[in-house]
């Protein structure tokens, strides 16, 4: 029996301030918990309910590196996933130009596909903990593989202070607010999981 695999990390308010719409608003000490089992045991993520300066609690968000894709299964609660793809320039992706994007309302039973190269984050828009499982591999040999795995690129998200859209609470309903640092992004609305078109190619 291999007992090495389980590891826990919490994402702190201090770290999340880099990507918040209102970095100076008060927030919980830990925004979300990650319990990493790798693709076999699946990874579990648990989001705190609530808002920080009207913005719903969210994951930091990252871009996948290389051919890596991922599926997120919603286990409990109500979330909005933001999935975005950067335009490609001569020197690689252009961080402030978003070519394609989706905002998808997810509930228990929904499985959401995150394609290679796309960025993604998930927001807890419900009153309870939001809980997902995902099949992302985690390399425990890395220096900080649990908290910031190396297959994911967080740097463009930090530079842009978040994704192209923030998800804010407006009278109890989620609403998208554009991040003004992006020069270009498609005009999107929140859609149902059934209307999300991206799927793993078989």
Contact flag: residue 171 with a copy of itself (CB under 8 A): no
Find the shortest distance in angstroms from Cβ 173 to a copy of itself.
16
Contact flag: residue 1 with a copy of itself (CB under 8 A): yes
- The DSSP-derived string for 117-134 is T-EEEEEE-SSS-EEEEE
Q: Which is nearer to a copy of itself, 84 or 124 (by Cβ)?
A: 124
Residue 22 DSSP one-character state: S
End-to-end CA distance of the chain: 33
Residue choice 42, 151, 161, 175 for contact with a copy of itself (CB under 8 A): 42
58 and 167 in contact (C-beta within 8 Å)? yes
Q: For the window 45-84, what string marks contact with a copy of itself as x by the rule CB under 8 A?
A: -x-xxxxx--------------------x-xx--------
Rg of the chain's alpha carbons, rounded to an integer? 16
State the residue for tokens 């130009």.
97
Q: How far apart are CA 162 and CA 156, in angstroms?
A: 9
Q: Which is nearer to a copy of itself, 112 or 185 (by Cβ)?
A: 112
In the complex, the residues that contact a copy of itself under the rule CB under 8 A are 1-6, 8, 10, 26-30, 33, 35, 37, 40-42, 44, 46, 48-52, 73, 75-76, 108, 127-129, 131, 133
């Amino acid at each position: 029996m291999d007992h090495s695999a389980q590891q826990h990390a919490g994402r702190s308010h201090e770290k999340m301030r880099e990507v918040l719409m209102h970095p100076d608003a008060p927030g919980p000490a830990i925004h979300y918990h990650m319990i990493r089992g790798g693709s076999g045991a699946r990874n579990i993520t648990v989001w705190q309910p609530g808002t920080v300066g009207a913005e719903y609690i969210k994951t930091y968000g990252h871009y996948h590196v290389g051919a890596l894709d991922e599926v997120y299964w919603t286990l409990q609660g109500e979330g909005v996933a933001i999935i975005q793809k950067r335009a490609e320039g001569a020197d690689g992706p252009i961080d402030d130009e978003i070519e394609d994007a989706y905002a998808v309302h997810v509930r228990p039973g929904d499985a959401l596909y995150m394609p290679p190269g796309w960025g993604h984050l998930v927001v807890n828009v419900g009153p309870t903990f939001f809980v997902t499982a995902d099949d992302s591999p985690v390399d425990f040999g890395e220096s900080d593989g649990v908290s910031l795995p190396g297959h994911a690129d967080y740097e463009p998200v930090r530079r842009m202070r978040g994704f192209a859209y923030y998800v804010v609470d407006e009278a109890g309903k989620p609403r998208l607010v554009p991040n003004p640092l992006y020069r270009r992004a498609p005009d999107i609305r929140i859609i149902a999981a059934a209307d999300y078109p991206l799927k793993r190619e078989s």
